[in-house]
């Protein structure tokens, strides 16, 4: 496809539409929108070759605000529509935008299979631990005890971990970030985009109306250092104010503990070194919960494998062009035929 390159490099603004953004003032979705637009500008993405596919929910309004191709589909089914798009045109850069209800309630089955199949998409799950669009009912990621119109005395169900789900489903790129961490989020999104295969990114998103401050325990400025760790592949797992804390394996156990560097003879050399290709490690990191352990952010797991589209195209020698009339005539005449003469 011919792409006309613009004279000036694109800016975030070039990815914004003239649609009036309808999220509640203060909603975390604004920040994510900004990050996505900036990221696409940074990598000089081609808007004509970029597609955003979403389900239903506040978060799923996202495509309307992107000056790319966009398809706002039906509740929970965005991964399946995106799969069809990608299999037909592997050249397209296809993004799925979904919420925690959209992806893990009604669409749980599809999320499982799109990850298992490793379709080359970026899946952004905006996790606000609540159903926003339908006015605040508890969701499959809501913590036990969440009060909502359908759980007035507090929900009794146990939440699912999106990251744990993605790893369990066989996701080959699993990452996490926060709406308000612009730089970090842009960086994670770039890595997701560069990854061939399904890239899954959970983004903690504050719903200021129905679930405000639910992530404050690790996102607020005063606790962030203590309760977050920004993972970097190949680097020791250091966090805390001035890098004073670290993570290591409890000796003799498959269990992570937080330690203070320089205390009890612990040095940086004792710390775990992040290895994004280590799946069991990703599982341990995914399970970490503040305040006992910091929330793991960044790319928890990245180990590329053949993506579905390419597997189909390579493995079966599938071609794009429709069959010729000759080929079809041959097909119709295969096997036993006979002639009736006049």
Partner 1 sequence: MRTSTLPTPEASLSDARQPLESVVVRFAGDSGDGIQLTGNRFAAVTALAGNDLTTFPDFPAEIRAPVGTTYGVSAFQINFGARAVKTSGDAPDVLVALNPAALKVELGRLKPGGIVIVDSGAFNERSLRKAGYAADPLNDGSLASYRLIAIDISKMTLETVKPLGVSQHDALRCKNIWTLGLVYWMFGRDRKPTADWLKKRFADSPLIASGNIAALDAGHAFGETAELSGDIPGYSVAPASLDPGLYRTITGGEALAWGLVAGAHLAGLKLFFASYPITPASPLLHALTSLRRLGVSTFQAEDEIAAVCAAIGASYAGAMGVTSSSGPGLALKGEALGLAVAAELPLVVVNTQRAGPSTGLPTKTEQSDLMQALFGRHGESPLAVLAASGSSDCFETAIEAVRIATRYMIPVIVLSDGYIANAAQPWRVPDITALSPFPVEFRTDPKGFAPYARDAATLARPWAIPGTPGLEHRIGGLEKDQLTGAISYDPANHQQMSDTRAEKLDRIALDIPLQTVETGRGEGRLAVVGWGSTHGPISRAVVSLVERGYDVAHIHLRHLSPLPPNLGELLRRYETVLVPEMNKGQLVQLLRAQYLVPAEGLNKISGQPFKIAEIEAAILARLGS
Least CB distance from residue 155 to ligand SF4, whole Å?
A: 18
Using CB under 8 A as the binding criterion, the count of chain residues that bind partner 1 stands at 67
Q: Which is nearer to ligand TPP, 72 or 313 (CB)?
A: 72
Given 12, 16, 21, 24, the residue binding ligand SF4 (CB under 6 A): 24
Letters for 99-118 (x = contact with ligand TPP by CB under 6 A, - = none) are xxxx----------------
Q: Which is nearer to ligand TPP, 138 or 218 (CB)?
A: 138
Least CB distance from residue 337 to partner 1, whole Å?
A: 5
Letters for 108-147 (x = contact with ligand SF4 by CB under 6 A, - = none) are --------------------x---x---------------
Contact call for residue 57 and ligand TPP (CB under 6 A): yes
Least CB distance from residue 165 to ligand TPP, whole Å?
A: 14
Least CB distance from residue 137 to ligand TPP, whole Å?
A: 7
Given 28, 132, 197, 246, the residue binding ligand TPP (CB under 6 A): 132
Using CB under 6 A as the binding criterion, the count of chain residues that bind ligand SF4 stands at 11
Least CB distance from residue 125 to ligand SF4, whole Å?
A: 13
d(CA 178, CA 290): 15
Which has the closest alpha carbon to 47: 10, 20, 21? 10
Q: What letters, b where the CB count within 10 A reaches 16 and e where it falls short, cover 16-34?
A: eeeeeeebeeebbbbbbbb
Q: Which is nearer to ligand TPP, 57 or 309 (CB)?
A: 57
Contact call for residue 21 and ligand SF4 (CB under 6 A): no
Contact call for residue 11 and partner 1 (CB under 8 A): no
Q: Which is nearer to partner 1, 196 or 313 (CB)?
A: 313
Least CB distance from residue 93 to partner 1, whole Å?
A: 9
What is the side-by-side strand order in the sheet with 238-239?
A: 238-239, 245-249, 256-260
Record the tokens describing residue 115, joined without a space: 């990850």
Least CB distance from residue 62 to ligand SF4, whole Å?
A: 11
Q: CB neighbours of 221 closer than 8 A, spacing ≥ 6?
A: none
| Three-class secondary structure of residue 154 per DSSP | coil
Q: CB neighbours of 110 closer than 8 A, spacing ≥ 6?
A: 76, 77, 78, 79, 80
SS (H, E, C) 90-119: CCCEEEEEEEHHHHHHHCHHHHHHHHHHCC
- Dump the DSSP string for 261-303: TTSTT--GGGS-B--TT-HHHHHHHHT--TTTSPEEEEEEEE-
Q: Which is nearer to partner 1, 61 or 245 (CB)?
A: 61
Q: CB neighbours of 2 closer than 8 A, spacing ≥ 6?
A: none
Cα 233 to chain centroid, rounded: 18
Work out the number of other CB atoms within 10 angstroms of the CB of residue 210. Answer: 23
Contact call for residue 52 and ligand TPP (CB under 6 A): no
Given 10, 15, 29, 230, the residue binding ligand SF4 (CB under 6 A): 29
R_g of the chain computed on alpha carbons: 23
d(CA 160, CA 104): 8
Binding stretches for ligand TPP (CB under 6 A): 56-59, 75, 99-102, 126, 128, 130-134, 139
């Amino acid at each position: 496809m011919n792409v006309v390159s613009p004279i000036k490099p694109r800016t975030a603004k070039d990815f914004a539409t003239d649609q009036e953004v309808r999220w509640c003032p203060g909603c975390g979705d604004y920040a994510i929108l900004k990050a996505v637009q900036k990221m696409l500008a940074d990598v000089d993405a081609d808007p004509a070759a970029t597609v955003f596919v979403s389900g239903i929910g506040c978060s799923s309004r996202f495509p309307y605000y992107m000056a790319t191709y966009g398809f706002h589909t039906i509740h929970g089914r965005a991964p399946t529509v995106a799969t069809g798009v990608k299999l037909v045109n592997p050249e397209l850069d296809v993004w799925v935008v979904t919420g925690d209800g959209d992806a893990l309630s009604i669409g749980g089955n599809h999320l499982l299979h799109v990850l298992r199949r490793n379709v080359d998409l970026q899946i952004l799950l905006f996790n606000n631990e609540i159903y926003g669009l339908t006015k605040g009912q508890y969701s499959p990621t809501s913590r036990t005890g969440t009060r909502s119109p359908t759980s007035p005395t507090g929900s009794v169900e146990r939440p699912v971990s999106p990251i744990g789900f993605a790893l369990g489903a066989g996701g080959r790129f699993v990452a996490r970030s926060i709406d308000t961490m612009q730089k970090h989020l842009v960086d994670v999104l770039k890595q997701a985009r560069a990854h061939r295969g399904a890239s899954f990114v959970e983004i903690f998103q504050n719903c200021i109306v129905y679930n405000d401050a639910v992530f404050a325990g690790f996102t607020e400025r005063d606790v962030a250092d203590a309760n977050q760790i920004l993972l970097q592949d190949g680097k020791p797992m250091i966090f805390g104010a001035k890098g004073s804390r670290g993570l290591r394996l409890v000796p003799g156990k498959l269990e992570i503990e937080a330690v203070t560097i320089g205390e009890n003879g612990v040095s940086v050399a004792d710390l775990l070194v992040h290895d994004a290709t280590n799946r069991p490690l990703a599982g341990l990191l995914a399970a970490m919960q503040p305040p006992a352990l910091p929330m793991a952010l960044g790319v928890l797991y990245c180990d590329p494998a053949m993506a579905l589209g390419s597997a189909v195209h390579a493995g079966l020698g599938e071609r794009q062009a429709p069959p010729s009339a000759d080929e079809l005539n041959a097909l119709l005449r295969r096997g036993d035929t006979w002639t009736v003469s006049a």
